[in-house]
Structure 1
Amino acid sequence: MRSDSTAPPAPLSRTVGSPARVVEVDRPTPLEATVIGSWSFPGWYEALTARIREQPDCFGPFDRAEAVEDATRLAIADQVAAGLQRITDGEMTRVDFNLGFYDLLEGLEPLPQERRWGPPAHDQRSKYRCVAPLSAPRGLGTLDEWDRIGRCLPPGTPVKLKMPVPGPFTLAGCIQGGAIYADRRAVTEALIPIVNTELKALVAHGVGFLQLDEPSFACHPGAAHDFLDVIERVLDGVEAYMSLHLCFGNYRARAVGWRSYRPLFPALGRARVNQLALEFASRELAELELLADLPDTMAVAVGVVDVKNTWVEPPELVADRLRRALAFLPPERLSATPDCGFSQTARHIARAKARSLALGAAQVRAEFRLD
């Protein structure tokens, strides 16, 4: 359990913006019901993590490991009970979806909190400054997460798994270069080989479905070609089914950017990934027609429940949203997902939304006789 406490990249081995990946190690089934990554912390676990931050010496490593595994088992049980077909470990050892990773990066010092009081927003996130070249000699901890879900998942449970990993541009958003790196792009360059190494290690560990979380791409729409270059290099040599998650921010259930994917099209269709995971429910399916511009080799996980809203969508609405997406893509290229992770959503609401998502997707699969 973590607190929220460089060499130049290799030359490109293929042309940026080349056709979509053909690696399909763990291809999703048509209209698969899944999640983005994070799950709501149980109340007791939220309280425990807060106490560990305040009084770390009160808990030994066995105490922490036991709490993490108990919370992971609950996250798995919630997702399975909801009827989801592909799940994660709920990211129980991460702070939000990425803040815990900074404890594993060397070369950083924490900066004072810029604002502590008032309405919650992204300017209350932890920030860091580089004091040495970035490195991660112990990795980013995702192998331990994968091993843990293997221990916590009951044998014979009929679900598939995915492993989300934050991308280098999004990780760079909380890091100031200091005297080491000139700007955010330079920090991103330093993080590319670190994330690439982690992804390759996961594949070697048996992971067949990976998700690169890069919500910051959607919030900085003016550099699509640069983003394609980052994706190309961070996925170089990664032989797995690859999803790319882009949203508009969800820290304290608030967005952080202009909520439009349009500036990223048609460039996004040239990303070397198998699937895009995109936010639509919170925007009442605005820009859904952009899906028709994607190449026929690219799948989409369509956000059909709004994680920022406490209202629980009925299954019939989820089904209707999927039918509307089917006007642009066939069922074998569509999955059903929340807009973003559930880490900022109350657990009872997350469970109800996930259940509606699974039931709505099942309705549409039945219409197509896919089950």
Structure 2
Amino acid sequence: MSPKATPLLPTMGVGSYAAPGWFLASWREVRKGGWGAGDVEELLDDATRIVLADQIEAGIDILSDGELRRQRFVYEMFDRLSGLERQAPRRRLGIAGYDMAPSFVAREPIAAPKGLGAVEEFLALKRLAPASAPLKVAIPGPLTFAMSIAPAPGVLETLIAIVNAELKALAAAGAAFVQLDEPGISRAPHGLSAKDGALAVNRALAGVEAQRAVHVCFGNNAGRPMADRRLGPLMDAMTALDCDVLMLEFANRQMADSELLATLAKDYIVAAGVIDVKNFRLETPADVAERLALCLKHAPAERLIATADCGFSALPRYLARQKLQALAAGAELARGH
């Protein structure tokens, strides 16, 4: 069955979703051992069903799996890369931060002998989602992986090839909408400029036969960014991207830089972040509609998607669910206007 058509100003999440409390408690038990493979699969399937139900009940148009099968959108994927040696964090005490994130040194050539696992995630999503629902799957981009690996000859090119192979495998498995999450554009690693980072992302997207999105992220570790949050300095990089959809943060920046949509929407569909996932304040549908109205001053509705600034993993589920509901209701208000 072909996916149903999406409405004007379609809605979608970015990627991660807030894990249900029972899932977090169960996952702690899984890590202790004693669960069988079938038990774990049942747990993951049930959690995915909950994530899908929250989106469907809210009225979200393009569905994703919430990334509950991996940790922090990228951490789990490092376990699928061979040739890396994990480094001990220099700081272990105090509030969690980017300096506590996993870091690695390449001791041997990097490889992903069994892929990054996104194809298995997508196939589970496809099996559990309504047959007619448009689906999206997101994976970290090569710069995101490179941010955690010490610079060395060949590292970035290898990561580009690994990500490109995963995207092509997703497309071959039937994924019609794929997304790269790239905080590495706003804070490019390995001495790259933002534009050089964008060109590296292009190589990861090359030859992928699907709708291709790039999420230009400023970071969302426990709700905190890690980069200069202005879009203006990134314009040369963003306009160099060879993709179909640009996903940008606006809500947590008080809709700053929304005038740049006039330029960006000429070449890209823009998924505008109109839900602030870094704030416990719950938006009303009217708030969302007002933010979309600002976007519509600069770009036609046909070139816009309504989304959140980033993933929902740093929020409790009850609030993430309410924000999804506000997103869908606000987009409906904006359509009516």
Normalising by structure 2, report the TM-score.
0.94
* Alignment gaps of 5+ in structure 1: 1-24
* Alignment gaps of 5+ in structure 2: none
Superposed CA offset, 1:69-112 (max 9, x none) = 11111111111111100110111111011111001111112222
- Work out which of the residue numbers 242, 246, 269 in structure 1 matches 2:239: 269
Match of 1:219 in 2: 187
Residue 201 of structure 2 contacts residue 241 of structure 2 at CA under 8 Å; is this kept in 1?
Answer: yes
Superposed CA offset, 1:159-199 (max 9, x none) = 3110111100111111225xxx24xxx42221001010111
Q: CA deviation at 1:35?
A: 0.6
Query: Secondary structure, in 3 states, of the residue corresponding to 1:70?
Result: helix
Q: CA deviation at 1:266?
A: 3.6
Work out the CA distance in 1 between the residues paired with 2:210 and 2:81. Answer: 25
- Residue 28 of structure 2 corresponds to residue 58 of structure 1: no
Match of 1:165 in 2: 139
Match of 1:289 in 2: 259
Percent identity of paired positions between Structure 1 and Structure 2:
41
Match of 1:76 in 2: 52
Q: CA deviation at 1:292?
A: 1.5
Match of 1:16 in 2: none
Query: Secondary structure, in 3 states, of the residue corresponding to 2:38?
Result: helix
Residue 176 of structure 2 contacts residue 211 of structure 2 at CA under 8 Å; is this kept in 1?
Answer: yes
Work out the CA distance in 2 between the residues paired with 1:61 and 1:115. Answer: 35
Residue 26 of structure 1 contacts residue 240 of structure 1 at CA under 8 Å; is this kept in 2?
Answer: no
What is the correspondence of 1:139-158 to structure 2 with a 5 Å cutoff? 139-155=115-131
Work out the CA distance in 2 between the residues paired with 1:26 and 1:189. Answer: 38
Query: Secondary structure, in 3 states, of the residue corresponding to 1:317?
Result: helix
Q: CA deviation at 1:127?
A: 1.8
Q: CA deviation at 1:155?
A: 4.5
Work out the CA distance in 1 between the residues paired with 2:297 and 2:134. Answer: 27
Residue 305 of structure 1 contacts residue 318 of structure 1 at CA under 8 Å; is this kept in 2?
Answer: yes
Runs of 4+ residues deviating >4 angstroms: 25-29
Q: CA deviation at 1:65?
A: 1.0
Note closer, same or farther for the CA distance 1:251–1:209 as it changes in structure 2 (3 Å cut): same
Query: Secondary structure, in 3 states, of the residue corresponding to 1:244?
Result: strand
Q: Which stretch has the larger CA shift, 103-112 or 85-94?
A: 103-112
Paired amino acid for 2:62: R
- Work out which of the residue numbers 190, 212, 231 in structure 1 matches 2:158: 190
Work out the CA distance in 1 between the residues paired with 2:8 and 2:198. Answer: 27
Match of 1:45 in 2: 23
Work out the CA distance in 2 between the residues paired with 1:338 and 1:118. Answer: 29
Match of 1:19 in 2: none
Match of 2:273 in 1: 303
Q: How many residues align?
A: 333
Q: CA deviation at 1:295?
A: 5.6
Residue 26 of structure 1 contacts residue 208 of structure 1 at CA under 8 Å; is this kept in 2?
Answer: no
Q: CA deviation at 1:229?
A: 1.8
Q: CA deviation at 1:216?
A: 1.7
Work out the CA distance in 2 between the residues paired with 1:29 and 1:211. Answer: 20
Paired amino acid for 2:187: C
Match of 1:106 in 2: 82
Note closer, same or farther for the CA distance 1:123–1:283 as it changes in structure 2 (3 Å cut): same
What is the correspondence of 1:210-359 to structure 2 with a 5 Å cutoff? 210-220=178-188, 223-294=193-264, 296-359=266-329
Residue 29 of structure 1 contacts residue 332 of structure 1 at CA under 8 Å; is this kept in 2?
Answer: no
Paired amino acid for 2:286: E
Paired amino acid for 1:332: E
Query: Secondary structure, in 3 states, of the residue corresponding to 1:97?
Result: coil
Work out the CA distance in 2 between the residues paired with 1:28 and 1:83. Answer: 11
- Work out which of the residue numbers 105, 109, 112 in structure 2 matches 1:136: 112
